[in-house]
Amino acid sequence: MREKIKHLLIEIDSFTTNSVEELESFRIKMLGKKGEVTILFDDFKGVELSIKKEIGQLLNELKTKTQQKISDLKELTESSREVNKNFADLTLPSQSVSIGSRHPLSLVKNEIIDIFSRIGFTVSDGPEIEDDWHNFSALNFPDEHPARDMQDTFFIEEKIALRTHTSSVQVRIMENSKPPIRTISPGRVYRNEAISARAHCFFHQVEGLYIDKNVSFADLKQTLLYFAKEMFGADTKIRLRPSYFPFTEPSAEMDISCPFCSGKGCNICKGSGWVEILGCGMVDPAVLDNCKIDSKQYSGFAFGMGVERITMLKYQINDLRLFSENDVRFLNQFKTEI
């Protein structure tokens, strides 16, 4: 028995681990019900009286050492676990941060602003809730004039409505500044239309206004040609078709050569080779006078385009509703263009 105790003492001395599981099986092996130390205590009953004292002491020593060893190792494994928990593994790949993207309408609006600011246009802002004067009357829409029906309006009160175009901002600019005026007004506008792939009850416009002495239709045409080439590429052609707006005379609608088939004819341009992108014209002298600008001294041109329309042509988007649904699978496609 003496030999057995000595062997066990050596085994216990040399045992080491940092695993909780290993330590537990060591405890069971030594101090469990059928553990080596426990069995020795059981055998102690049969030890000869003459050596009982010596063996008893050795056994006690064995038990204390075992218990001491177990509690020491337990402390060690626990503290090393703590350390592991706080240890940042710098070799792990980092978690990727998902970066948002600009909305395609913002990208295109910013591009339009950029193109016009390069030729001296400033940016003007105005309210989305507008009075009758700024949205209609000042722009030569007399009361009861059928032209008011061209733009189905959301009314808030009898003479207050959600603006139907950002021409209202230009009225405010004309009223409050002196020519030369060279400005564009980007913003959201509202029309009471049923929502479909091609129409929505709100959309975005950029309208432009240039007023000075001797501004001519040739200036308008040249400005729009410059815009079309910057926006859709140097080979782009434009054509102006006569049209009607109450606030411009003469008025025109502008087409560009189809950016998809370069004018050859495809299903986007319905075989014509041309797509319409904006309305324009020379500011009606009555509008200048309404805004206290002397129409005998000054003339000007104006134009207005839908940002959605330009974006759809630029990115081949075929449904207007995609712009307001905010499906991330759609928006993610514009990620690189921040």
Q: Give the span between the Cα atoms of 256 and 251, in whole angstroms.
A: 17
Q: Which lies closer to ligand PHE via its Cβ, residue 30 or residue 112?
A: 112
CA distance 287 to 298: 12
Residue 27 vs 188, nearer CB to ligand PHE: 188
Whole-angstrom distance, CA of residue 112 vs CA of residue 307 = 9
Which of 279, 244, 248 is closest to 140 using CA atoms?
248
User: What's the closest the beta carbon of residue 322 comes to ligand PHE, in angstroms?
Assistant: 22
- For 9, the 3-state DSSP assignment is helix
For position 140 contacting ligand PHE by CB under 6 A, the verdict is no
State the nearest-atom distance from the C-beta of 98 to ligand PHE, in Å.
37
Q: In the complex, what is the shortest distance from the CB of residue 212 to ligand PHE, in angstroms, rounded to a whole number? A: 17
- Is residue 227 within 8 A of residue 114, CB to CB? The reply is no
Among 163, 165, 172, 204, binds ligand PHE (CB under 6 A): 165
Nearer Cβ to ligand PHE, position 26 or 303? 303
Selected binder of ligand PHE within 186, 263, 279, 300 (CB under 6 A)? 279
* CB-nearer residue toward ligand PHE: 73 or 209: 209
DSSP H helical ranges for 233-306: 285-290
Minimum Å gap between C-beta 329 and ligand PHE is: 32
> Is residue 253 within a helix (H) or strand (E), and if so which, with residue range?
strand 248-257
Place of tokens 């500044």: 177
Write the DSSP assignment of 163-222 as a string of letters.
-SSTHHHHHHHHHHS-S-EEEEEEEEEE------SS--SEEEEEEEEEEETT--HHHHHH
Task: Compute CA distances 51 → 7, 65, 336, whole Å.
Answer: 18, 21, 88
For residue 151, the minimal CB distance to ligand PHE (Å) is 7
For ligand PHE, which stretch binds (CB under 6 A), given 6-14, 120-128, 274-282, 317-325? Answer: 274-282
Give CA–CA dist 71/74, Å, rounded: 5
Q: Which of 190, 245, 274, 323 binds ligand PHE (CB under 6 A)?
A: 245
Q: Is 12 in the site for ligand PHE (CB under 6 A)?
A: no
167 is a site residue for ligand PHE (CB under 6 A): yes
Kindly identify the residues of this chain, within the stretch 194-233, that bind ligand PHE according to CB under 6 A: 207
165 within 8 A of 205, measured Cβ to Cβ: yes
Cβ atoms within 10 A of the Cβ of 73, count? 20
CB of 334 vs ligand PHE, minimal distance in Å: 26
Interface mask (CB under 6 A) for ligand PHE, residues 290-329, using x and -?
------------xxx-------------------------
Please give the span between the terminal C-alpha atoms of the chain, in angstroms, as a whole number: 82
Residue 36 vs 207, nearer CB to ligand PHE: 207
What is the C-alpha to C-alpha distance for residues 280 and 258, in angstroms, rounded to an integer? 19
How far apart are CB 241 and ligand PHE at their closest, in Å?
A: 13
The H-or-E segment that residue 279 falls in is: strand 274-283
Size of the site for ligand PHE (CB under 6 A): 11
Helix (H, G, I), strand (E, B) or coil at 15: coil
> Which one, 12 or 171, has the nearer CB to ligand PHE?
171
Binding site for ligand PHE (CB under 6 A): 165, 167, 207, 245, 248, 279-281, 302-304
